[in-house]
Chain A
Amino acid sequence: GAVVSQHPSWVICKSGTSVKIECRSLDFQATTMFWYRQFPKQSLMLMATSNEGSKATYEQGVEKDKFLINHASLTLSTLTVTSAHPEDSSFYICSARDDRLPYNEQFFGPGTRLTVL
């Protein structure tokens, strides 16, 4: 159980375009979803935390107008990278958690590799 999927698994886009990444909890309800970014040979860096039905909380240094996060349902969160530039090329990973459970472990999606040309 506790499977999280991401779509697409990889995407290549031109500079200036927007890209949407979906994160779904397949067999549980995710009251909280997290979005991480990982550059090559770097660790996972938390970008934002989203709770279902409310605005996301962004970490310092992450532009909320550039990285739009929507968590409209208990099983789906989306991250839209607007006006993508080559420096946005990275591995984006989401994780999901049900805060109502006594042990609220985060379950990670498989990640999305974004390449901006």
Chain B
Amino acid sequence: EDKVVQSPLSLVVHEGDTVTLNCSYEVTNFRSLLWYKQEKKAPTFLFMLTSSGIEKKSGRLSSILDKKELFSILNITATQTGDSAVYLCAVELGSQGNLIFGKGTKLSVKP
């Protein structure tokens, strides 16, 4: 059975801290791995990763994929209260392009 596992499930940090969110997966037909940020409504896209070892960066956020060990990490440096959200990891399957989501990591950044 295809599955995506995220850890930790929740995390509380203070502003300025750096956090690392983990996502491991076991799927039969991997196409890509995606990270989303979900606040109150639908997820907003952060990164799509298809190749191992190539870091994607956007401001204070960065992510990397290891296709050999089947995991990805999302780093957030110098966290701000606006980073508080649930961060979802999803794996896109190669057949129909369906997404399988992890349960998410709820990040709370305290002032």
Contacts and interface: CB of A to CB of B under 8 A. Distances in A.
Interface in B33-50: 41-45, 48
A113 to B, nearest CB: 9
Contact of A104 (B88, B97, B102): B97
Contact of A43 (B44, B96, B97, B102): B102
A53 to B, nearest CB: 16
Interface stretch (A13-21, A44-52, A71-79, A80-88): A44-52
Interface of B: 41-45, 48, 88, 90, 96-104
Given A105-B48, A110-B42, A111-B42, A32 B101 contact: no
A44 B99 CA distance: 9
Interface in A25-40: 32, 34
Interface residues of A, number: 21
Contacts of A97: 97
Contacts of A46: 98-100
